[in-house]
C-alpha cells in the first residue's frame, strides 16, 4: 500500500492511497460473496452463478461498490494511522483508478485536527480562589435548615404584622365592577413579600382574624394587564386566619431531630466541615478554570468549522435530552421560544468554540509534556467508577469496551494535565468570600 500525503488547505489533507491488485482482488471476491445471492443469470438458479459468469454477464462494475466499501475503510484507517493524521470529519473519497488486475487508487480528502500553537502555559498568572468558611456561613446555613423545618402556627389574639401569613378571601372592583383575576379565596399571602400590588399588603397590617377590610389601591402604570394599569381599585378582603412561621429553637434537641448528632455543637461542626468541603471543591474548580482559561487564551488555534459544528451538534443533542426529561422536545421548545434552529445553534457557537479550543489545547499540552495514563491509574479509575455505580469491579470491567477504556484514559490524562498546569501556575490569592462581595 502506497500513501501520498498532501496538504492542500489549512487543516485539510489529501491522501492518495494505492491499494495493490491482490488486495483489490480480495475485496472483489468478498464483494461477490456478499452479493452472489442477488445475481440472476439465465441457465443458473438464482445465486448459483459463478463469479466469472456473473462478471461476463453483468460486467465487473457491479462488484466495485461493495469492493470499495470493503477496501477503503481499512486502507484509509491504516493510512491515517501510519501517517499520524487525526481527522475530525469523514473523508471525501474520490476514485482514481479501478479495475481487476490493476492497483486500486483513490484519494481521500479530510479535515484534520488543527495544529495548536501554544503560548505560555507554565507559570501563567491566575487568580487562586480560596475556600473560606466562617462561622457566619455556618450560622446562615443553620438558619436555612431551621427555615426548612419551620412550622406555621395560627395566632388569634393580635392583628396582622409584617412577615405573618394571612389567609384571605378577596374580591376586587374597578369602577364598581369585578374584573378578571381580581378574586381569590383562601389565598396564603405573606405580608411584606411584595406579591401583590404595592400598598395592598401594608393596608392589611393590624387587621384581625374575621375582619373585613376594604383596600384601596391604584394599579401601577406599568401593570401587565393594560386595561387595568393606572386605575384605582377597591378590594374587599376578608381575613380568615393569621399564621406565624415558628422557627424551631436551635438547641441540642433540634440537632437530634434533624441529624444523627446529639448536640448542636457537633452538628455545627459537621455542617462546617461539609461547607468547607464543598467550598474547597468549588474553589479548586474555579482556580482550575482560571488557569485553563489563561492557558487557552495564550494559545492560538485555527479551528476548522466542522469541529465546531460537530460540537454544536453535540451540545444541541444534550440540550434536547435535558428537555426531554422535562417532558418537552426540542421542536416544541423552539416553537415556544420563537426561534428557528439556526439562531438556536448560533447561541451555542461561542461556547462550542471555547470548549473545542480548550480540549485541543489540553491535548497538545499533554502531548508536549508527555503526560500519559499508566495501567495502574486506569485500573484505579475503573475501581472508583465501579464503586460509584455500586458494581463489582470485575463485572464492571467486563462491560467496558476498548473505547470506554480509551475514554477513561483520556480523562486521566486531562486531569493530570490540569493538575500540572495548576501546579506550575503563579497563583494570586483571592478568597472566595471577597469575590462574592465584589459581585
| Contact footprint for other proteins (CB under 8 A) | 43-45, 48-50, 52-53, 56
Nearer to other proteins, 49 or 413 (CB): 49
Query: Among residues 52 and 150, whose Cβ is nearest to other proteins?
Result: 52
d(C-alpha 228, C-alpha 237), whole Å = 19
Q: From the CB of 49, what's the least distance to other proteins, in Å?
A: 8
Q: Please state the closest distance from residue 373 (CB atom) to other proteins, in A.
A: 57
Paired with 257 in beta bridges are none
Whichever of 52 and 263 has its CB closer to other proteins, that residue is 52
The answer to whether 19 and 99 have CB atoms below 8 angstroms apart is no
Residue 314 host element (H or E) = helix 305-325
DSSP state, 260? S
Of the pair 38, 367, the CB lying nearest other proteins is at: 38
Q: Which is nearer to other proteins, 56 or 384 (CB)?
A: 56
End-to-end CA distance of the chain: 62
Q: Is 37 helix (H, G, I), strand (E, B) or coil?
A: helix
Least distance (Å) from other proteins to the CB of residue 389?
Answer: 59
Instruction: Copy the grid coordinates of residue 88.
Output: 475530525
Q: How far is the CB of 374 from other proteins (least distance, A)?
A: 58
Closest Cα partner for 315 from 341, 297, 296? 341
Residues 6+ apart with CB under 8 A from 424: 121, 122, 123, 124
In this complex, which beta carbon is closest to other proteins, that of residue 45 or of residue 439?
A: 45
C-beta of 410: minimal distance to other proteins in Å?
A: 54
Beta strands 426-431 and 125-130 are parallel
User: Would you give the distance in Å from CA 386 to the centre of its chain?
Assistant: 23
Instruction: Tell me the closest approach of the beta carbon of residue 103 to other proteins, in angstroms.
Output: 24
Amino acid at each position: 500500500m502506497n500513501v501520498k500525503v498532501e496538504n492542500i488547505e489549512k487543516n485539510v489533507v489529501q491522501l492518495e492511497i494505492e491499494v495493490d491488485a491482490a488486495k483489490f482482488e480480495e475485496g472483489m471476491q468478498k464483494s461477490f460473496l456478499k452479493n452472489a445471492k442477488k445475481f440472476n443469470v439465465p441457465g443458473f438458479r438464482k445465486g448459483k452463478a459463478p463469479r466469472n459468469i456473473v462478471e461476463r454477464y453483468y460486467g465487473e462494475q457491479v462488484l466495485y461498490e461493495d469492493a470499495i466499501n470493503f477496501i477503503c475503510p481499512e486502507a484509509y484507517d491504516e493510512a491515517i494511522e501510519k501517517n499520524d493524521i487525526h481527522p475530525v470529519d469523514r473523508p471525501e473519497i474520490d476514485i482514481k483508478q479501478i479495475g481487476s488486475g490493476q492497483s486500486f487508487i483513490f484519494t481521500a480528502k479530510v479535515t484534520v485536527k488543527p495544529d495548536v500553537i501554544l503560548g505560555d502555559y507554565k507559570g501563567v498568572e491566575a487568580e487562586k480562589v480560596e475556600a473560606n468558611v466562617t462561622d457566619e456561613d455556618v450560622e446562615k446555613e443553620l438558619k436555612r435548615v431551621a427555615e426548612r423545618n419551620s412550622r406555621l402556627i395560627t395566632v388569634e389574639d393580635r392583628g396582622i404584622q409584617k412577615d405573618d401569613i394571612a389567609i384571605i378571601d378577596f374580591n376586587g372592583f374597578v369602577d364598581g365592577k369585578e374584573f378578571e383575576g381580581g378574586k381569590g379565596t383562601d389565598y396564603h399571602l405573606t405580608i411584606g413579600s411584595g406579591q401583590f400590588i404595592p400598598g395592598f399588603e401594608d393596608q392589611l397590617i393590624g387587621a384581625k382574624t374575621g375582619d373585613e377590610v376594604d383596600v384601596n389601591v391604584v394599579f401601577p402604570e406599568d401593570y401587565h394587564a393594560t386595561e387595568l394599569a393606572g386605575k384605582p381599585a377597591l378590594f374587599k378582603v376578608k381575613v380568615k386566619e393569621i399564621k406565624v412561621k415558628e422557627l424551631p429553637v436551635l438547641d441540642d434537641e433540634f440537632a437530634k431531630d434533624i441529624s444523627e448528632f446529639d448536640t448542636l455543637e457537633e452538628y455545627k461542626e459537621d455542617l462546617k466541615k461539609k461547607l468547607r468541603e464543598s467550598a474547597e471543591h468549588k474553589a479548586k474548580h474555579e482556580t482550575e478554570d482560571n488557569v485553563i482559561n489563561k492557558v487557552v487564551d495564550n494559545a492560538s488555534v485555527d479551528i476548522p468549522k466542522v469541529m465546531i459544528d460537530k460540537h454544536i451538534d453535540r451540545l444541541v443533542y444534550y440540550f434536547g435530552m435535558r428537555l426531554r426529561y422535562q417532558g418537552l422536545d426540542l421542536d416544541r421548545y423552539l416553537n415556544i421560544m420563537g426561534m428557528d434552529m439556526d439562531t438556536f445553534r448560533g447561541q451555542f457557537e461561542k461556547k462550542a468554540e471555547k470548549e473545542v479550543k480548550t480540549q485541543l489545547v489540553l491535548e497538545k499540552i499533554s502531548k508536549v509534556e508527555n503526560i500519559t495514563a499508566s495501567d495502574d491509574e486506569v485500573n484505579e479509575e475503573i475501581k472508583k467508577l465501579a464503586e460509584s455505580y455500586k458494581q463489582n469491579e470485575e463485572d464492571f470491567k467486563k462491560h467496558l469496551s476498548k473505547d470506554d477504556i480509551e475514554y477513561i484514559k483520556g480523562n486521566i490524562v486531562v486531569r493530570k494535565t490540569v493538575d500540572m498546569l495548576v501546579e506550575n501556575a503563579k497563583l494570586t490569592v483571592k478568597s472566595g468570600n471577597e469575590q462574592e462581595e465584589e459581585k
